[in-house]
Amino acid sequence: MRIAYVVGTRPNFVKTAPVIGAMRARLPEGRHAVVHTGQHYDRLMSEVFLEELGVPAPDYMLEVGSGSHAEQTARVIERLEPVLAQENPDLVIVPGDVNSTLAAALTAAKMQIPVAHVEAGLRSFDRTMPEELNRIVTDQLAEQLFIHSPEASDNLHAEGVPAERIHLVGNTMIDTLVALEGRFRAAQAAQKLGVAPGDYLLVTLHRPALVDGPLLAETIARLATLAREMPVVFPVHPRTRAMLAAIDSEHPGLLLTEPLGYLDFLSLLADAGAVLTDSGGIQEETTYLGIPCLTLRANTERPITITAGTNTLLGLDPAAIAQIPQALSQRPAKRPVPPPLWDGHAAERIAEVVAR
């Protein structure tokens, strides 16, 4: 059996690393070709992750880089087609909801190559998010849909996806977390940054809705005010870094860092008093670790992190940042039971389904 895995961005690597490992173990005679689209290309956004996660060096680098949605998507399609023609895989596996995911699914489906989508069925019901369009189209094209929570199945049924294509396998991002927990717990990233474990707010912000417009300046001002009460640690995504430079904002008291590797970031996450984010994956990682997560978005495609986890939707409203100290003081200290099948073995279940 010949498999091609197409990845492009930081969270893709985290979701796919355990799948490649489990598939290699299940199908050792098979061909396992890793294609990196190059959507993320900075060393801190890409190589560091691949190294820490133990992903073998990609067999193909498409080097599509940054650009408009159309440019980025088109470049992946154009450059992936000859790779798939040469590899002739029996299956193309794509994770998540980024432009590389959509482009790879479309390229493979048009070449009559079956597609498997890892993390299928998530819906924010907000079509202004580029990721929502990527999810909807990818799920329509995929033949095997691997889901990590029951509502994903409802979403897919509502869009006419037949039940036999849907497999509830659990969360491969949590597989990576479980596999590397010993190493990130030992990383002591908080101490290295000079903040006390349990004490600080960890911030990540990168969605266009928040960082590409006027909300960014207000968010930074609110965080600077909050930093007088509790340390605020903010590893800055390149998109956000560029927008911060453009608005020339002051950020007194905020501990801004470069993007962190997986081990240092998870170390900071596990030791945080709380997390403020607009990321999808971090809503899941905090749910698993039992860390309070405050999501600065109007909606989430991951409602299970609210019903079964530690996530609270603040809305897309920087003013909500002022409520954080009070919200944290009132929170019961609970370490919730993670959702079913978020147990470190999702990728093995995927390999089992594919091998069948």
Q: Which two structure tokens, joined as six digits, stand for 208?
A: 């266009």
- Does residue 344 bind ligand UD1 (CB under 6 A)? no
The question of whether 206 is a catalytic residue gets the answer: yes
| 167 phi and psi angles, rounded to 5 deg | -130, 115
Q: Which residues of 10-48 are buried (b: 16+ CB within 10 A; e: fewer)?
A: bbbbbbbbbbbbbbeebbeebebbbbbbbbbbeeebbbb
Rounded to whole angstroms, the Cα distance separating 52 from 6 reads: 18
CB closer to ligand UD1 out of 119 and 131: 131
Strand ranges (E), 240-352: 254-257, 274-277, 293-295, 311-313
**Residue found by looking up tokens 């479980």 in the block:** 178
Neighbours of 69 (CB within 10 A): 12
Q: Of the candidates 19, 50, 76, 98, which one interacts with ligand UD1 according to CB under 6 A?
A: 98
Minimum CB separation of residue 230 from ligand UD1 in Å reads 26
Residues numbered 114 to 133 that lie near ligand UD1 (CB under 6 A) are: 130-131
Q: Of the candidates 1, 24, 31, 45, which one interacts with ligand UD1 according to CB under 6 A?
A: 45
Minimum CB separation of residue 145 from ligand UD1 in Å reads 19
Contact range with ligand UD1 by CB under 6 A, out of 38-46, 172-180, 197-205, 315-323: 38-46
Residues numbered 47 to 86 that lie near ligand UD1 (CB under 6 A) are: 66
Rounded to whole angstroms, the Cα distance separating 288 from 340 reads: 11
Q: Which of 32, 36, 206, 237 is catalytic?
A: 206
- Does residue 246 bind ligand UD1 (CB under 6 A)? no
Contact range with ligand UD1 by CB under 6 A, out of 7-15, 219-227, 292-300, 309-317: 7-15
Interacting residues with ligand UD1 (CB under 6 A): 9-11, 39-42, 45, 66, 97-99, 130-131, 206, 237-239, 242
Cite the active site residues.
206
